[in-house]
Amino acid sequence: MSFLRVSGTKIVDGEGKEVILHGAGLGGWMTMENFISGYPGCEFQIREALAEAIGKEKSEYFFDKFLEYFFAEPDAAFFKSLGLNCIRIAVNYRHFEDNDNPRVLKPEGFRHLDRVIEACAKHSIYTIIDMHTAPGGQNGGWHSDAGVHIAGFWKHKDFQDRLVWLWTEVARHYAKNPWVAGYNPMNEPADPKGTGLVQFYDRVYAAIRSVDPDHMLFLDGNTYSIDFSAFPDDAKDRWQNTAYAIHDYAIYGFPKSPEPYARTPEQLQKMKDTYKRKRAWMDARGLCVWNGEWGPVYARREYDGDQTDDINERRYNVLKDQLDIYRVDKLSWSIWLYKDIGFQGMVYVSRDTPYMKRFETFLARKFRLAVDAWGTNDRYVKQCYQPIVDLIKDSIAEPNRHLYPPIWSLEDRVARLSRTMLVAEYMVKEWADTLKGLSEAELDEIAASFKFENCLKRDGLNKVLTDHAASFKGSI
């Protein structure tokens, strides 16, 4: 079997036949995220808190079982049944290296990753390894698992050295595996200057190529994968066998949509223009584009009541219309995401499972307090934080209120620092304490809630994806 590779603007197989990758992100697994599995704050916080609450041995047992159950053979079989062919696996660097023991590889980090890649290969599913977190944090989001809003990765060369080293080890490990489609060296970088990202890509490209000349690279644009303005004009020759990753989330697929999505010509044109603007740099240079993340979030009856079905029908329409836009370019994409507890996943944990029952009250309060940044609805608490926004507006001159990253409004910045970091931090111990006093057998039962057989399918979403993929039948 030959490796996939980039040829001009296309991805092709060993015979030169075009391959269009249609798939999903396996987020929330080897990089846990708060909205995906229901905890507050960052992954490192809840891991530390659980070890303190129930002991290191039981904590490690629980998280290991979580990894075992979250994605297994039945998940791969179901995924393939939808006609999809690629899974982007989000990975936390902490599985392979400890901050207090840098540049010492933890071989056990490959155990679950190898297992999932093998399960996918058995069903002819390609995988893309996505380094979703970086030492020090490559952006100010919760998903970089740094716990701060300023990305330290760009301020300390040692953080950069460590990630280059780690990618050398990962690429060496998978160099001969053709079912690994390629490597996504950094998820959603946010380098205020842009030049640091280019320098990092130069270094990580050289490091990977020193041990693996064959696999594709998927390089995210700057500022959360939307800005390529600092990238070099000679990228095609400088970084060969490389696709360029945009993330194309449409505002109409989220609670903060400026208006209900009605498929008006104006709304459709806005989505199309946004997408075209993100890929314009690559199109001008004849480069390959890959949409590494996109997709709406969905209403939940326990929170959105009678409006749930109407909201979700509009979100499915956003989904369909984005795919129609992508169809013209025969775009390869990876929707966010495969599995969660009911907000965005193609499959989601049933409300009747031990995990969801145990955390039901906690999750409801977490929703009301809006402690997650992703797709949040702040209707219950907005009035609490508005005075902070007003104070800044009244006290700071307008030109000085424009900080990096520009995609964060003043309101977003206040929310991230106050709600999603400060308030979330106060909820971490409570999340961990909810698992206190349980035996290993009971912890196993809680973790098993994430097994495929304990999940429900979001049929509306899956049908849209399947219908789109079927229209390209003939490509792998």
Q: Is the pTM of this model over 0.85?
A: yes
Here the tokens at position 150 are: 């300023």
Angstrom distance (rounded) from CA 263 to CA 253: 12
**Annotation says 293 is catalytic:** yes
In contact, 158 and 99? CB cutoff 8 Å: no
Nearest to 444 by CA among 382, 326, 354: 354
Q: What is the pLDDT of residue 371?
A: 97
Nearest to 43 by CA among 161, 132, 138: 132
Angstrom distance (rounded) from CA 300 to CA 308: 6
Beta pairing partners, 335:
24
Which pLDDT tens digits describe the chain residue by residue (476 residues)?
A: 899 999 999 999 999 999 999 999 999 999 999 999 999 999 999 999 999 999 999 999 999 999 999 999 999 999 999 999 999 999 999 999 999 999 999 999 999 999 999 999 999 999 999 999 999 999 999 999 999 999 999 999 999 999 999 999 999 999 999 999 999 999 999 999 999 999 999 999 999 999 999 999 999 999 999 999 999 999 999 999 999 999 999 999 999 999 999 999 999 999 999 999 999 999 999 999 999 999 999 999 999 999 999 999 999 999 999 999 999 999 999 999 999 999 999 999 999 999 999 999 999 999 999 999 999 999 999 999 999 999 999 999 999 999 999 999 999 999 999 999 999 999 999 999 999 999 999 999 999 999 999 999 999 999 999 999 888 765 44
Nearest to 126 by CA among 85, 166, 92, 162: 85
Q: What is the pLDDT of residue 471?
A: 86
Nearest to 365 by CA among 447, 437, 430: 430
Angstrom distance (rounded) from CA 419 to CA 411: 11
Cis omega (within 30 of 0) for bond into 337? yes
Q: What is the pLDDT of residue 472?
A: 78
Here the tokens at position 73 are: 């053979």
Q: Which DSSP symbol is given to 342?
A: S
Sign of CA dihedral 262, 268, 269, 275: positive
Helices (H), 175-264: 195-211, 222-225, 235-238
Calculated CA dihedral for residues 303, 304, 305, 311, nearest 10 degrees: -150
How many helices (H) does the chain have, and how many strands (E)?
19, 13
**Annotation says 33 is catalytic:** no
In sequence order, what are the residues at sequence separation of 6 or more whose Cβ sits closer than 8 angstroms to the Cβ of residue 166?
Answer: 93, 96, 97, 105, 131
Here the tokens at position 360 are: 């039901």
Backbone angles phi, psi at 176, to 5 degrees: -100, 10
Instruction: Report the residue count for the chain.
Output: 476
Q: What is the pLDDT of residue 1?
A: 83
Indicate the SS3 state at residue 4.
Answer: coil
Q: Given 188, 398, 445, 453, which residue is catalytic? A: 188
Q: Given 293, 425, 430, 440, which residue is catalytic? A: 293
Angstrom distance (rounded) from CA 41 to CA 249: 22
